[in-house]
Chains A and B, each alone.
Chain A
Amino acid sequence: MIETENLMKHPKNMKHKCLKTNILLLVFFLFSPLLLSASDSDSSSEAFNPTDMIVHHIKDDYGWHLFDYHGEGGEEHSVSISLPIILYTYEEGNLGNGSLDVFMSNDFHHGEHDVEKGDNTYRLDHGHITELGGKHILDFSVTKNVASMMVSVVLLFLIFFSVAGAYKKRGAVEPKGLQSVLEPIILFIRDDIAIPNIGEKKYAKFLPFLITLFFFIWINNLLGLLPTGANLSGNIAFTMTLAIFTLLITNISGTKNYWSHLFWTPGVPLPLRLIVLPVELLGIFTKPFALTVRLFANITAGHIIVLSLISFIFVFKQMFVGVIVGPVVIAMTMFELFVAIFQAYIFTLLSALFIGLALEDDHH
Chain B
Amino acid sequence: MDIVTPGIGLIFWTALLFALVLVVLRKFAYNPILQTVKAREDSIREALSSSSKAKDEVEVLKKEIEEMKQTARAEREIILKEAKDSASKIMTESQDSARKEYERIVASAQEDIRNEKKAALAEVKNQVAKFSVEIAEKLLRKELSDEDYQKKLINELLDETKLN
Contact = CB atoms under 8 A, between A and B. Distances in A.
A60 B8 CA distance: 13
Contacts of A80: none
Contacts of B122: none
Contacts of B30: 160, 164, 186, 207-208, 211
Interface residues of B, number: 34
Interface string B1-23: 11111111111111101101110
A198 interface: no
Interface stretch (B36-44, B111-119, B141-149, B152-160): B36-44
A212 interface: yes
B10 A212 contact: no
A280 B33 CA distance: 39
A241 B15 CA distance: 6
A11 B25 CA distance: 34
A259 interface: no
A8 interface: yes
Contacts of B22: 208-209, 212
A30 interface: no
Contact of A163 (B6, B8, B13, B33): B33
Given A59-B2, A171-B36, A186-B37, A237 B28 contact: no
A238 B37 contact: no
Contacts of A182: 33
B3 A245 contact: no
Nearest to A127: B1
B24 interface: yes
Interface stretch (A71-79, A144-152, A307-315, A336-344): A144-152
Given A236-B3, A300-B3, A167 B32 contact: yes
A55 B37 CA distance: 45
State the majority secondary structure of interface residues on A.
helix
Interface in A115-162: 127-128, 138-143, 145-146, 149-150, 153, 156-157, 160-161
Contacts of A55: 3
B9 A161 contact: no
A86 B12 CA distance: 12
Interface string A163-182: 11001100111000000001
A76 B40 CA distance: 60
Interface string A291-324: 0000000001000000000000000000000000
Interface in A219-246: 235-238, 240-242, 244-245
B34 interface: yes
A197 B6 CA distance: 30
A235 B36 contact: no
Nearest to B22: A212
B110 to A, nearest CB: 101
B21 A164 contact: no
5 contacts: A19-B2, A149-B13, A149-B17, A167-B33, A190-B34
